Structure 1
Amino acid sequence: MAGNANSGRPALPATVHMLRGDPSKKGMAALQAAAQSPAVPVKAPPKPDHLSPEASAEWDRVVEALLALGWISELDGMALATYCEAVGDWHRFRRKIAELNEQLDGSGDVQTFQSGAKQISVWRQMAENAEQRANRAGALFGFSPVARRAMKALAPQGELFPNAERDAADKYFS
């Protein structure tokens, strides 16, 4: 059997080939062009009109940064709306829990039944579910340190710390 499209090792990104000294023999110019050109045009999707106020605020907050990094296209509308709605839900549920904690002396997180049995309140369960949804959808856009590790930014991000040795070497060897 010859295999199918899922056979073998997955292809490595062009940036990995460049770091390894071009073992693929594709040529550094071709690898640099592949690393710099996005697969789809970078453009913000239109904001859905059904977003809650909290989700709409989150949309406005993250779209600008995603555009600057080149990590968003018009194709990402549903994934971004899913993330924003989950964040909006989480904010609403956490506010409700805080409100219940003030009113009921700390019982917004724990629900007590007439029998005396206790369990995590429904509001807390919904907040945890919204947090999981937000983390899962946010990972698609690099909203966690682990997810960002796999992402590549199109725009150069600059140096975080000065490097005198590198600058001296660049001065004499470039």
Structure 2
Amino acid sequence: MAGNANSGRHAKPAIVHVLTGNKSKLPAHKLQDEMQASPLPVEVPAPPDWLDDDACAEWERVGPDLVLLGLVTRLDRQALAQYCEAVSDYRRWTLKIQRLNDELEGRGDVMTYRTGAKDLSIWRKLRNDAERRADAAGAKFGFSPLARRNLRAQLQAPQGELFPNEQKEIAQKYF
């Protein structure tokens, strides 16, 4: 059975096409119309009240840049909150590991059981989990080099006229 309307990849927003150089060759006027007819204004939403100080600082750090890129609206509050909370957790667990390593001679990273078996400490596991969460949530906004690679604006010189002036009117009838 063939797919339905939900099959396949999701369509990219017009801003992503523009930032990646419009590799799909969509008409420029359609992309411009879609970007200008955005149903929601580009703005940083208010941070949720449950974010801690580190998460709020991250919110304030990345918010203006997301507005400049046109990648955030008030509907993106939860995704941005997930990213900021994960960054805050990552910082908290990193500082905890550093403190334990200083106090306990390197035992903040590795836990030794009574049997002699060694494993990553719970603090390192929590830090690794926060790192994965921050990477996954940040990729939605292009916060890693790999995610940003596809959002990088490609500065290219304009192509110029495809047809000489006398053929331009004829080409406009059919294209």
Length-normalised TM-score, structure 1: 0.74
Bigger RCO (CA 8 Å, 6+ sep) = 2
**How many pairs were matched up?**
155
Aligned equivalents of 2:29, 2:50: Cα separation in 1? 45
Q: Go from structure 1 to structure 2 and tell me whether the alpha carbon gap of 1:101 and 1:8 turns closer, same or farther (over 3 Å shift).
A: closer
Aligned equivalents of 1:58, 1:90: Cα separation in 2? 12
Confirm whether residue 118 of structure 1 aligns to residue 118 of structure 2: yes
| Contiguous gaps of at least 5 residues in structure 2 | 161-175
Cα deviation, residue 146, structure 1:
2.0
Q: Go from structure 1 to structure 2 and tell me whether the alpha carbon gap of 1:137 and 1:123 turns closer, same or farther (over 3 Å shift).
A: same
Q: Go from structure 1 to structure 2 and tell me whether the alpha carbon gap of 1:20 and 1:113 turns closer, same or farther (over 3 Å shift).
A: closer
What do residues 92-145 of structure 1 show as CA deviations (whole Å, max 9, x unaligned)? 000000000000111110011222221100000000000000001111111012
2:119 match: secondary structure? strand
Aligned equivalents of 1:105, 1:116: Cα separation in 2? 17
| Contiguous gaps of at least 5 residues in structure 1 | 170-174
Q: Go from structure 1 to structure 2 and tell me whether the alpha carbon gap of 1:100 and 1:18 turns closer, same or farther (over 3 Å shift).
A: closer
Question: Percent same amino acid among aligned pairs?
Answer: 48
Length-normalised TM-score, structure 2: 0.74
Partner residue in 2 for 1:62: 62
Task: Answer whether contact 1:110 1:118 (CA < 8 A) is retained.
Answer: yes
1:111 match: secondary structure? strand
Aligned equivalents of 2:45, 2:101: Cα separation in 1? 39
